[in-house]
Chains A and B, each alone.
Chain A
Amino acid sequence: MSINATPTGADTAVEETERHATVPAQRGSRRKAPLSENKKAERKLGWLLCAPAALVMVAVTAYPIIYSVWLSLQRFDLRFPDERQFIGLENYVTVLTNEFWWTAFGVTMLITVVTVAVELVLGMGLAIIMHRTLVGRGLVRTSALIPYGIVTVVAAFSWRYAWTPGTGYLADLFSDGAPLTERASSLAIIMLAEIWKTTPFMALLLMAGLALVPEDLLKAASTDGATAWQKFTKVMLPVMKPAILVALLFRTLDAFRVFDNIFVLTAGGNETSSVSMLAYNNLIRGLNLGIGSTMSVLIFITVAIIAFVFVKLFGTAAPGSDDGERR
């Protein structure tokens, strides 16, 4: 969510001078000089104000994830609590050699890649419409916020009934059978539901980048005879790059967590389970804490790898990399 988008091109020089002008003043306290009473008080207040938020965040995420690693090393089935014992990495072997896991992993990857790619294109279009439209800007923005705000489960039910033969307006239009009972069409509908719900969020993040594109630069490009497409690829895209990367990263990790839509649309039937769905089923339906935790840990590791790859690939443009510097 946070990135210090450093606009390339015309703005950079201005931005730089501003930064140099303001930073030393704020940073003064970092020097080795002994801290004044005032600075000490400021530090203390800073820690005091951040402590509750930091404490809650760490207590509810760090501790459970560590506990989760511990659980994943045990045979722990709530239906047979007496058989609980430490078994090392056996659960990992069980999960990683299980075809359901890999099917779910494949489904999750497919959904992530396809939805994020489609959303990037549609989101860019929507962002441009929301940003530049000459008429009804408020109306467009208000409508676009509805998919963003609506409860995912509600939207999922709407899609489910839309594709139910007889009941739905879409089912009879596109197919003779029941689309939610076949694998390919189920997956397509899940992706449609995801795309509908999250494109506006992508568009809003992109619009934030769009707002950074200097109007003068576009005018100058027009004067030089650039076509609309050239303006888009040569002027807008480079300036928007940081915003695009943030949007991609956030949506990718969010898409990887896909759960609600699948739960309502297919309940994971016909091999449409995502990894989240599978972990949930093992835990709540199967009451197998050992296997469920193992999947939790594996999902956590996968997400960490995806985030790491993003940061590595895109270097300083990635969120977080610049945070420590400027704050």
Chain B
Amino acid sequence: MPRDLISKAWDFPAVPGTKAVASADEDSITMAVEAGLDCLVGIDPKSIDGLYYATTTQVYTEKDSASLIATVLDMREDIITTDFTDSLKAGTTAVCRAVDTIKANKDIKSILILAADTRKPEPSTMWEFGFADGAAALLVAEGDVLPVSIEDYYSISANSTGPWKRTEKDSFIRTFEVKVDARIYSENITKVMSELLKRNNLQPGDIGAAAYYYNNPRLHGRIAKMMKFAGGVAQNSVFFQLGDLGTPMSFILLISALRRPKPDAKVILAGFGDGADAILLQVRDRAMLKDVNKNRMGVSAHQKSMITLNNYDWYLENKELLEKDRYSRKSSAVIHWREAPSLYKMYGIKCTNCGTIQYPQQFRSCYKCRADDQFEPVKLSLKGTIFTYTLDHLVGGNYYDTPVPRCVIDLDGGGRILLNMTEIEKPQENVQIGMRVELVFRKQHESADFVNYYWSCRPERGRK
């Protein structure tokens, strides 16, 4: 979203750059899933022993999100899942705790850490230029050969003057005095990084890259000076183009920094929020790191694949800031639980008699050879090709957010499925038979007062 849309909407002074805004059918959970899918390319999700999920924008205040995400990512049942929440440093804290867990528990050798936030600023405030949406994933594992190693971490705890958001009472983030907030932030983030250097007998000049959270570009530069980092060490690519992403921000700065690392570079990852964490990393194997980057979309390919918003109203609608009727339909939490393999993990079934792959799993008799009960579960591809489609202007007897592209898709490797398409510009011109699509996990509706998640499709963006 170009920031000048906000300037124009409220007659504010022009602010340069863009910020990342999630679609209406995305939330922190779906974005975490997307980051997880990109991270796990070429890695068996069943080989990972835990999932830590960090966010300040929980979809549920009572209900573990990590377990839902682990289900969608098709991870094992005998794993540890935990939500780290309520602080902007939840992401870095999750990394520290993952290190502790792996060190302390011989059965846990790897933990996937997902950080996601969909930050909703109050309209017509300066927050609106900053707050943005994003997600990132780090896979922390024990091993002798690693692309990057975690050497040490150091944390401090500090009560702050803001910002905050009260449970239930606040729709938007509040603060008391941004100048005091800035002072506390500066003191904490410099203290935690300085202590980390001291503990490891390092000088600022020894650091190749520093990825620390910030919400103000000017303040970011001041921190770099105070820390005496060399030019180009403090990573500052994110705010201008993506905005203040909250918990995933420091991860995204780190992932950008590791795109082209110096050999044996020492890297700092730091988060802030009522205290601070600083983590010391060391690049170990550049070739391995190059491979990691090659097979994943990472920051740059995701940035390139984004659609540019061209009006502010669309943004208001996406953030559900406009009060309007929304599509509601039958809802059943029990069906989501019972059919989790089909609905969340995207499993189909394969007929052992005739080999036909089919979806969803509820069928007991093969549509092809009509054999009864001769099925085995099979994981379906998250990519496919459109066989036929329509643009539906009539949704459940109403006209909500239409037209909805309904796409019959032949999945790569077998299975035919019907999915709605999301994030398509000018569908009348751009949806076609034969078009390549990828599956994305999205909110479908919120009937019965819970979030009904399922898969949609969108034009292929390059996820492997």
Q: Does B bind A?
A: no
